[in-house]
Amino acid sequence: MRLISSVNEMMAWAKEQRRVGHTIGLVPTMGYLHEGHLTLMRRAKENCEKVVVSIFVNPLQFGAGEDYEEYPRDLTRDSQLADSAGVDVIFAPAVKDMYPKGYSSFVEVEQVSDHLCGAARPGHFRGVTTVVSKLFNIVRPDIAFFGQKDAQQLAIIRRMVEDLNMGIAIVGVPIVREADGLALSSRNVYLSPEERKAALVLSQSLKKAKELIAEGEGEAERIRQEIIKVIEAEPLANIDYVQIVDNRFIQPVERLEGECLIALAVRFGKTRLIDNLVMEVSPNDSHDA
Ligand code: AMP
């Protein structure tokens, strides 16, 4: 496995791969790799001849007062893990190479970014779509892999690729969880043992929602209130948002129909965690209780 930190070197490597006819898969990450990231990498390896994993804690997607400085970083450990997953290149550029002096170009995807984390973290998705566009231009992958864990991000990237005719296939990979249900996240290391236990309300509340929908509940607000009840029963949990939207345009729905996304953001102390559930609901599945 090769470690590349220069943008020009990355472009040259990718160009050579394309010249010899290799397909390239890209897995964008912020590093501090865990099994969720590794699942994306293995999926990429199954589908592409060469796999590039980018590791870049992108300052542009962090707001003032967020955890840009504290975000965990360990390139040595990440390199070993990526190597074991069959990755060909880790691309870990420096901030000044990605955003040199005078940098002025940004990519913004409207509407799909109106709600959820788009509303809770102003400027966040502008940072994400800008860096992902740059990574796409640098690597020019055939396929890029993103986790369902960041459901709104995935919907926004799909929209961007379609709207801007980027010609890159986007593969979404299901959420990887701990045995007890907590979705894996690099930010889980921030949690104290008490907060780690409390964080189980995320997956528990989604499980409750799933049960309600299976019983025929189709009214979004009622499901939302039940989720809120489960989360609020945990004293260490502070809700940022609980929302039910359609999974493509990420707009609030009143009744569950088609592919719906139930998305949560909850704080435990200083740590903000997200989780979600995608449900395909046919109109006949739900009825008024
Ligand atoms: P991050 O390093 O947190 O920016 O994540 C990089 C990629 O890994 C994103 O596409 C995430 O959605 C994905 N990812 C993070 N955690 C998980 C998880 N638990 N399961 C599946 N994918 C994940």
- Answer whether 13's CB lies under 8 Å from 139's CB: no
Taking the C-alpha atoms of residue 289 and residue 232, their distance in angstroms, rounded to an integer, is 24
44 CA to centre of ligand 1 in angstroms? 14
Task: Provide the token pair at 141.
Answer: 């992958």
Phi, psi of 216 (to 5 degrees): 110, 0
149 CA to centre of ligand 1 in angstroms? 6
**pLDDT tens, residue by residue, 33-53:** 999 999 999 999 999 999 999
Ligand 1 proximity of 40 Cβ (cutoff 6 Å): yes
Mean pLDDT calculated for residue range 243-256: 98
pLDDT at 282: 87
- Give the residue, by CA position, lying nearest to ligand 1 atom 13: 147
Residues annotated as binding site for ATP? 30-37, 147-150, 176, 184-187
- Give the residue, by CA position, lying nearest to ligand 1 atom 10: 146
Mean pLDDT calculated for residue range 253-276: 98
- Answer whether 37's CB lies under 8 Å from 26's CB: no
- Global pTM value: 0.97
Check pLDDT > 70 for residue 289. no
Encoded amino acid at 225, one letter:
Q
Ligand 1 proximity of 52 Cβ (cutoff 6 Å): no
Angle at 159 between CA 176 and CA 126, to 5 degrees: 85
Angle at 102 between CA 98 and CA 108, to 5 degrees: 65
Ligand 1 proximity of 176 Cβ (cutoff 6 Å): yes
Mean pLDDT calculated for residue range 96-123: 98
Taking the C-alpha atoms of residue 75 and residue 82, their distance in angstroms, rounded to an integer, is 10
Q: Which atom of ligand 1 is nearest to the CA of 177?
A: 19
Encoded amino acid at 170, one letter:
I
Residues annotated as binding site? 30-37, 61, 147-150, 153, 176, 184-187
CATH of domain 2-173: 3.40.50.620
186-280, superfamily in CATH? Pantoate-beta-alanine ligase, C-terminal domain (3.30.1300.10)
- Answer whether 210's CB lies under 8 Å from 282's CB: no
147 CA to centre of ligand 1 in angstroms? 5
- Answer whether 149's CB lies under 8 Å from 182's CB: no
Report the SS3 class of residue 269.
coil
Taking the C-alpha atoms of residue 109 and residue 118, their distance in angstroms, rounded to an integer, is 10
52 CA to centre of ligand 1 in angstroms? 15
Are 2-173 and 186-280 in the same CATH fold? no
Task: Provide the token pair at 92.
Answer: 């870990």
Ligand 1 proximity of 48 Cβ (cutoff 6 Å): no
Q: Which atom of ligand 1 is nearest to the CA of 183?
A: 19
pLDDT at 145: 99
Active-site positions read 37
Count of all residues that appear for the chain in the document: 289
Check pLDDT > 50 for residue 24. yes
> Where do the H-state alpha helices sit in the chain?
7-19, 35-47, 75-84, 95-98, 116-120, 124-139, 151-163, 193-198, 200-214, 220-232
Ligand 1 proximity of 184 Cβ (cutoff 6 Å): yes
- Answer whether 109's CB lies under 8 Å from 163's CB: yes
The domain ranges of the chain are 2-173, 186-280
Task: Provide the token pair at 16.
Answer: 């050579």
pLDDT at 285: 62
Distance, first Cα to last Cα, the chain: 56
Check pLDDT > 70 for residue 110. yes
Ligand 1 proximity of 183 Cβ (cutoff 6 Å): yes
Mean pLDDT calculated for residue range 127-136: 99
pLDDT over 90 percentage in the chain: 97
Check pLDDT > 70 for residue 286. no
Mean pLDDT calculated for residue range 145-170: 98
pLDDT at 283: 75
**pLDDT tens, residue by residue, 267-283:** 999 999 999 999 999 87
Taking the C-alpha atoms of residue 43 and residue 15, their distance in angstroms, rounded to an integer, is 22
pLDDT over 70 percentage in the chain: 98
Mean pLDDT calculated for residue range 125-151: 99
Check pLDDT > 80 for residue 211. yes
- Give the residue, by CA position, lying nearest to ligand 1 atom 6: 29
Ligand 1 proximity of 173 Cβ (cutoff 6 Å): yes
The whole-chain average pLDDT of the chain stands at: 97
